[in-house]
Amino acid sequence: MAIKFGTSGWRAIIADEFTFANVCRVTQAICRNLRTSDTPADAALVVSYDTRFLGEKFAEQCVNEVSARGFRAIFCDHATPTPTISHTIRDRCAAGGINFTASHNPPEYNGMKFSTADGAPALPEVTKQVEQFIGEIPDAGGRSNVAADADRIEAYDPRPAYMNDLAQKIRFDVIARAGGRYAYDPLWGTGRGYLDQVLRDHGLEVETIHDWRDVLFGGRAPEPDDHHLDELRAAMKRRNCVLGLATDGDSDRFGVIDADGTFITPNHLIALLFDYLAESRGWTGGVARSVATSHLVDRVAEARGLPVYETPVGFKFIGELINEDKIILGGEESAGLSIRGHYPEKDGILACLLAAEAVAARGASLNEQLAELYQRVGRLEAGRIGVRLTPEVQAALAEKLKQEPTEIGGRRIARANRMDGVKFIFADGSWLLLRPSGTEPLVRIYAETESTQDLEVLLEQGRKYLLD
């Protein structure tokens, strides 16, 4: 069976493709990859897991494999957020990390995310070599019988160092002075005892819901999207909270609800926080966004005289710009964000805390801040839909995406961007992106324009163009 890495590691259904045997194969391939890249003989790998079914058992098998192959294993002693693992890799000078998580995917999935020594998700050139090595390892059909080297395994609590690091980047004194209550929904994931605890440590009152392990995540995907956060809204209303904060299963994605119950889309929050950081920190530098992310950040950058970097989908590409210190903030419409001086990995905990800081510092709700931002740079509305393909449409997809139309739905195309899928930028500044899934017969259609009504029209025009 061929194992393929996507934009954020390898994911598969537990007990189908995600088995102990395949975990062993992937671990062996990662170790082999590291041995071919001048890794020191006594190098360490950080290993952890999220709250999914059997996560700790899969991680234990991985640790055994890592130690048996001459690496030191720094084994996190509890279900750990992905950004915390990124910090640990850098803080402990590890050669990389293996995190057992399927992020926001449904509960029947698990996954392995491989991060390199800089704490960033491994780049495609690395994962392609790992895939090649996996193909050379026979499927033993069960657990490996390697003998773990206990002297090379260290149980480690990564929480204190990560929390201390957050305190250097978030103005908790500003948040504390403003006071107010917060509601937090970790969606039964790894953010429990992190985001809520760091706020409590700085004197804030936090109402936490879903504060226990549930390997089924309440029967749905642990995704902090609007339609999953009604219970958070109820908690906010019950306690009269300033903000509702949420993170996904491995805490690399964020969801934020304003005091009036409005869900603030990631596209809008990314632009708002970029504006806030440029103003409050006095930082110079650019902003990075994926090709699928709102151009509202472009307008903020233009107003402030700062550059914009566009990347393919996948936070690893934004992470490179963080490492190079080229940007103030990098974000993706799928609720991924990091900032200057942080790690080259999405951090939903950081994003939520920055939202709290912006509200406290500016003395205005997020909606009030967005209204002021729109007055300065104009309003944009972005959205996406998924279109499942028939075999006939899928067979013709490659040729369809090569076409060079001059207009779609009566809108004149100014230029086409083929960085990742095909993105048509129209003469009026609106745009439409068609991006095929790498794992299923699906095309995601993204669009942005100046009103919610026109957004619905543009998405439908994109669907018709794809299927015609």
Q: How confident is the model at residue 142 (pLDDT cuts 50, 70, 90)?
A: low
Q: Bridge partners of 74? A: 46, 154
Which domains does the chain show, CATH number per domain?
Answer: 10-160 (3.40.120.10), 169-377 (3.40.120.10), 381-467 (3.30.310.50)
Residue range 335-381, pLDDT digits in tens: 999 999 999 999 999 999 999 999 999 999 999 999 999 999 999 99
pTM: 0.95
* Encoded amino acid at 111, one letter: G
Q: How confident is the model at residue 279 (pLDDT cuts 50, 70, 90)?
A: very high
* Spatial strand order in the sheet of 308-311: 308-311, 286-290, 327-332, 336-339
What residue has token string 């999207």?
Answer: 225
Residue range 157-216, pLDDT digits in tens: 999 999 999 999 999 999 999 999 999 999 999 999 999 999 999 999 999 999 999 999
SS3 readout for 26-53: HHHHHHHHHHCCCCCCCCEEEEEECCCC
Q: What is the pLDDT of residue 148?
A: 84
Between CA 299 and CA 228 the distance in angstroms is: 30
308 vs 58, 218, 219, 258, 268, CA distance in Å?
Answer: 40, 39, 40, 27, 16
- Kind of pairing, strands 407-408 and 381-388? unpaired
pLDDT at residue 103 greater than cutoff 60 = yes
* Encoded amino acid at 25, one letter: R
Between CA 368 and CA 249 the distance in angstroms is: 30
Q: What is the pLDDT of residue 1?
A: 67
- Encoding tokens for residue 440? 């299923």
What residue has token string 């609720």?
Answer: 335
Q: To which H or E segment does residue 84 belong? A: helix 82-91
Higher pLDDT, 267 or 137: 267
Query: CA-based Rg of the chain, rounded to a whole angstrom?
Result: 22
Q: What is the pLDDT of residue 40?
A: 83
* Encoded amino acid at 242, one letter: V
Q: How many CB atoms sit inside 10 A of residue 42's CB?
A: 10
Q: What is the pLDDT of residue 207?
A: 97
